[in-house]
Amino acid sequence: MVTFQLARRGIAMPAVLDAMKQVPREEFIPEDLHEFAYEDSPLPIAEEQTISQPYIVARMIELAGLERSDKVLEVGAGSGYAAAVMGKIANQVYAIERHKALAEAAKTAIEKIGYGNVHIIHGDGTKGLPGEAPFDAIIVSAGGDLPPALKEQVAVGGRIIIPLAVNGHQMLTEIRRLDADQYEITDHEAVRFVPLVPEEDRPGHVTQGRRTPTAGRPGHMPPDLSGIMAAAAEPFESYGDLARMAERFADRKVVCLGESTHGTSEFYAARAAITERLVRDHGFNIVAVEADWPDAAIYDKAIRQSAEGRRHAEEPFTRFPRWMWRNEETWAMLRKLREINRGRDPQHQAGFYGLDVYSLCASIEAVLDYLGEHDREAAETAKERYGCLTPYCSEPGSYARMRIGNGFRGCEDKVVSVLTDLLTQRVENGEALFDAEQNARIVAEAEKYYRNLYYGDADSWNLRDSHMFDTLERLLEHRGPDAKAVVWAHNSHIGDASKTEMGWVREEHNIGQLVREKYGQDCALIGFSTHEGEVAAADDWDGPMKIKTVRPALENAHEDHAFRTDIGRFFLDLESLDGDHRQMLSEPKLQRAIGVIYRPETERASHYFRANLAEQFDAWVWFAVTKAVDAKSATPREGEDETWPFGV
């Protein structure tokens, strides 16, 4: 965490890095979240509050410029974690928390780890702590306006670090007191904290005989946000209706179709209907999906030529998670694509392609098979070079451990040289060579991907999505100047990451962002979401598929507002929203993301991130209630092996 999430992102003050190394973050979060303790993200604690992400804690403390002799005040102690970190640097730390239960829990955690110079106080932090003032530094761990009492309680020469409210957003701000009446203000980066609420503005507080109204306060659900969605929503009954609505984007070169889970039937069926319409009527000849290239190639061969009498060397998509592409919804689409392709010339037939980087060993085999048919000497050379990777085929993730002894360095050069040879010594042209080159690229990229897993930061994610984008670019070039592509991937891949917490906080990009940066108005990003129902997912990686109940969306999440429209299914064209409505739907809110693993017990930490809906997507498709994909037929029925998945 300290090396790759803090130092790499610019935290340079040695005292801060040392303190972050020493304080056990798991002591300040619920036990069921301990596995997420050192991820660079906020986590939920009691009283609907959060513990800030480690980077923000370090950033605020570094801006405060703490020294060993300092006395520090924190407003909004929360879990007590930031106060503990400051306690490893400063002489005395006083942290005020307005929630009594949180204050007591923080005090217990501080006492457990034995930090006697950190004092947790239950009270109203907006009033400061005049009995201990002046303070060399004041850190406010909640967003809003600067309370006047804090300006008076910071020492001359001291600093206040606070997320100030600026035009509806929060800006991390440094306020240095120059003398009794002068302050120097410096703005830093945009942030998002829970609101700073003075005692008189809290629910239930009585002022001059009347109760303070709750509507309009930070954190309260705007009463008309679901109304804005309802007014702009285009309800649909059938998937055919939805496909007609999506045709407004048929003039684009790339249309990306997302999903908020990897195991929802409605998402597959809806994307299939849109894809079939774009392929049949609008010249789209590439269907590129979040899947392994060698496995998708088997589906591709089945839809672009007759599968009758042709035997497959192996069944596709047999590794975890099998249900993503071995389900009835996918097979129904493949059958329709095959029908559309019949009678078309090869250039205008739609192909089915995998974009992902996981197929390390299957791609090695594909390269060796190709070279074995065309250049036996080159095949032997490639086999020798790939020898440094083949021992890790059963567990590619273990390749990252070679980083400890730099054992990967020679392997990296060897696997790249196989691709270089293919590119410079072309023995033929056409589909076979293109396929072999792509598999060689995957081996080279997979080597980097598994090596970067060691770091545990944004590098591996960015490498994977860059690879998916590069693959899409090569497909568009390969299929000719008139090529058009439909992309299927999770919302977290096809929604513009720069408009979400992925980009704001974790410095991650994705294929949707890269597509938008390259194609601008010539692309469309369409997200898909749901409120509740069932999903096919596992408890852990490589675990068995289960049909799991999807909990109702968290309050004030995008999905919660959509559910409150009382419209079961709708298409929301975000591009066509007027200025005021677009601005309201641009307010960052929680958004759910369920991958192949679903852990309802840690719903907030595991499956939500903040996003600007109106700018993340060009359109959004909503299903209030959904069911799991039909993956019962994960293997062909007896007698279907030769023609699977088209056996009847």
The model's pLDDT over 586-601, given as tens digits with 9 standing for 90+, comes to 988 999 999 999 998 8
| 392 pLDDT more than 70 | no
Do residues 102 and 160 both lie within one domain? Answer: yes
Rounded to whole angstroms, the Cα distance separating 354 from 288 reads 6
pLDDT, one tens digit per residue, over 258-314 is 999 999 999 999 999 999 999 999 999 999 999 989 999 999 989 987 444 333 446
Do residues 128 and 255 both lie within one domain? Answer: no
27-41, 72-86, 190-204, 443-457: least confident range: 190-204
Do residues 350 and 368 both lie within one domain? Answer: no
**Type of residue found at 217:** R
- pLDDT at residue 315 in the model: 74
- pLDDT at residue 143 in the model: 84
Rounded to whole angstroms, the Cα distance separating 112 from 156 reads 35
Say if CB 136 and CB 143 are below 8 A apart: no
Provide CB contacts within 8 A for 329, sequence distance 6+.
Answer: 265, 268, 269, 272, 629, 630
Average pLDDT across the chain, whole number: 84
Say if CB 173 and CB 163 are below 8 A apart: yes
Say if CB 423 and CB 417 are below 8 A apart: no
| 418 pLDDT more than 80 | no
Rounded to whole angstroms, the Cα distance separating 559 from 581 reads 17
Nearest to 138 by CA among 121, 150, 125, 123: 150
**Mean of pLDDT values over 501-513:** 90
CATH code of residue 325: 3.40.1660
**Mean of pLDDT values over 502-518:** 92
| 380 pLDDT more than 60 | yes
Domain assignment of residue 397, yes or no: yes
- pLDDT at residue 249 in the model: 98
CA angle 47, 50, 55 (to 5 degrees): 165
**Type of residue found at 301:** K
Task: Report the b/e string of 166-187 with b at 16+ CB within 10 A.
Answer: eeeebbbbbbbbeeeeeeeeee
- pLDDT at residue 440 in the model: 82
Do residues 378 and 437 both lie within one domain? Answer: yes
CATH code of residue 131: 3.40.50.150
Rounded to whole angstroms, the Cα distance separating 470 from 467 reads 5
Domain assignment of residue 432, yes or no: yes
pLDDT, one tens digit per residue, over 250-259 is 999 999 999 9
Task: Write down the residue that tokens 């300040």 correspond to.
Answer: 28
Nearest to 157 by CA among 172, 133, 129, 136: 136
4 vs 72, higher pLDDT:
72
**Mean of pLDDT values over 97-124:** 94
Residue 436, SS3 per DSSP: helix
pLDDT, one tens digit per residue, over 123-169 is 999 999 999 999 999 999 888 889 999 999 999 999 999 998 876 67
Q: By percentage, how much of the chain surpasses pLDDT 90?
A: 56
Do residues 61 and 170 both lie within one domain? Answer: yes
Rounded to whole angstroms, the Cα distance separating 467 from 634 reads 28
Do residues 401 and 451 both lie within one domain? Answer: yes
- pLDDT at residue 389 in the model: 64
Task: Write down the residue that tokens 């609505």 correspond to.
Answer: 245
Q: What does the longest C-alpha to C-alpha distance in the chain come to?
A: 92
- pLDDT at residue 211 in the model: 26
Do residues 266 and 196 both lie within one domain? Answer: no
- pLDDT at residue 49 in the model: 83
Give the relative orientation of helices 409-424 and 376-385 as an angle to the nearest 10 degrees: 160
- pLDDT at residue 207 in the model: 31
Domain assignment of residue 609, yes or no: no
- pLDDT at residue 53 in the model: 86
Do residues 251 and 150 both lie within one domain? Answer: no
426 vs 326, higher pLDDT:
326
Domain assignment of residue 554, yes or no: no
Domain assignment of residue 321, yes or no: yes
First-last CA distance in the chain: 53
Residue 403's pLDDT band (cuts 50, 70, 90): very low
| 375 pLDDT more than 60 | yes
What is the domain count for the chain? Answer: 3
Last-in-domain residue among 200, 234, 265: 200
Domain assignment of residue 466, yes or no: no
Do residues 371 and 446 both lie within one domain? Answer: yes
pLDDT, one tens digit per residue, over 474-498 is 999 999 999 999 999 999 999 999 9
456 vs 549, higher pLDDT:
549
Do residues 306 and 376 both lie within one domain? Answer: no
Rounded to whole angstroms, the Cα distance separating 135 from 118 reads 14
- pLDDT at residue 73 in the model: 97
Do residues 120 and 103 both lie within one domain? Answer: yes
Nearest to 86 by CA among 100, 97, 76, 72: 72
Domain that holds residue 274: 222-354+484-530+567-586+614-635
Last-in-domain residue among 200, 232, 263: 200
| 406 pLDDT more than 60 | no
Residue 423's pLDDT band (cuts 50, 70, 90): low
**Mean of pLDDT values over 644-648:** 43
Nearest to 5 by CA among 72, 50, 52: 52
Domain assignment of residue 336, yes or no: yes
pLDDT, one tens digit per residue, over 182-238 is 999 998 877 777 777 665 444 333 333 322 233 332 333 344 789 899 999 999 999
Do residues 139 and 66 both lie within one domain? Answer: yes
- pLDDT at residue 456 in the model: 52
Residues designated as active site: 52
Domain assignment of residue 376, yes or no: yes
Last-in-domain residue among 144, 166, 200: 200
- pLDDT at residue 434 in the model: 85
| 87 pLDDT more than 80 | yes
Provide CB contacts within 8 A for 196, sequence distance 6+.
Answer: 75, 76, 125, 126, 140, 142, 143, 144, 145, 147
